[in-house]
Amino acid sequence: MIDRSYLLELCQQYQLPLTEEMAARLDTYAQMLVEWNEKINLTAITEPNEIVVKHFLDSLLLTKAIDLPQGASLIDVGTGAGFPSVPVTVLRSDLDLTLLDSLNKRLVFLTELCQAIEVRSTCVHARAEDGGKDKKHREKYDFACARAVSSLRNLSEYCLPFVKVGGAFLALKGPDWKEELAEAKNAIGTMGGKVERVEEFTLPDESKRAILIIRKILQTPPQFPRTAAKMTKKPIL
């Protein structure tokens, strides 16, 4: 399916310690992604080299942006097809991974995928605003991550409630991250977060990426997160 040597070459260029065995597992991931994509909408990216760059490399750069401690708990909010967290956990099998999505069909795919590529994970079928208020998940994770789900303002409200004080929300964003961050500043603070730093990357196709590390410094007030409708009606400005 994918050109494993190309994937390994890129990972070497970006100083990512991917092994041939890990590349083989990501190859299986790519095959399953394309097969399942014919049944359910998982991705618009199906060309092999684009999967390597825009899904796998893009996801793995998370490990360059932040040092994830051994055994850290990570929840991927609105995980979709498993990006960025499943490739990250292929590289870092010690992580305690939870995959949250509102569409059960995606979780069926992810359950089969994780079994096939030997990634330990827990799948949670819930909307982010419900999961963030559930005592089993609220402020229980060292890290929450999200990629291409919503605006940063809304993402902060969805994701920071999952994070323990002292942990961090990791937002994977494109080239417009500065505008999104300016719009999201008050929402981040309201949720108990503080922007620690932003790591910027350029992919081999010259597209720009940014990973925002938002540290959780205070507990999230109990009324958050709100529903998507309430976020739209009364955004935190």
Q: Is residue 127 part of a domain?
A: yes
Q: Which pLDDT tens digit goes with each residue over 226-236?
A: 999 999 999 99
Q: Is residue 123 part of a domain?
A: yes
Binned at pLDDT 50, 70 and 90, residue 140 comes out as very high
Three state DSSP letters for 29-40: HHHHHHHHHCCC
Q: Which among 156, 135, 129 has a CA at the least distance from the CA of 145? A: 156
Q: Which pLDDT tens digit goes with each residue over 100-124?
A: 999 999 999 999 999 999 999 999 9
Question: What are residue 235's phi and psi, to 5 degrees?
Answer: -65, 150
206 dihedral zone (left: phi>0; alpha: psi -120 to 50; beta): left
> How large is the C-alpha radius of gyration of the chain?
17
pLDDT value of position 106: 98
- Mean pLDDT of the 144-173 span: 96
Binned at pLDDT 50, 70 and 90, residue 75 comes out as very high
CATH of the domain at 75: 3.40.50.150
- With a pLDDT cut of 70, the percent of the chain lying above it is 100
Q: Is the pLDDT of residue 87 over 80?
A: yes
Q: Is residue 98 part of a domain?
A: yes
Q: Which pLDDT tens digit goes with each residue over 178-209?
A: 999 999 999 999 999 999 999 999 999 999 99
Q: Is residue 21 part of a domain?
A: no
Q: Is residue 187 part of a domain?
A: yes
Q: What is the pTM of this model?
A: 0.98
Binned at pLDDT 50, 70 and 90, residue 8 comes out as very high
pLDDT value of position 60: 98
- Mean pLDDT of the 21-27 span: 98
Q: Is residue 82 part of a domain?
A: yes
- Mean pLDDT of the 3-20 span: 98
Q: Is residue 33 part of a domain?
A: no
Q: Is the pLDDT of residue 154 over 80?
A: yes
Helix (H) or strand (E) holding 27: helix 20-37
Q: Is the pLDDT of residue 148 over 90?
A: no
Structure tokens at 237: 């400005």
Q: Is the pLDDT of residue 49 over 80?
A: yes
pLDDT value of position 149: 76
Q: Is the pLDDT of residue 80 over 80?
A: yes
Q: Is residue 12 part of a domain?
A: no
pLDDT value of position 224: 98
Measure the CA dihedral 136/140/143/145, to 10°: 20
Per DSSP, the three-state class of 146 is strand
Structural domain boundaries enclosing 154: 70-233
By the 8 A CB rule, do 52 and 3 touch?
yes
Total structural domains in the chain?
1
- With a pLDDT cut of 90, the percent of the chain lying above it is 99
Average pLDDT score over the chain: 97
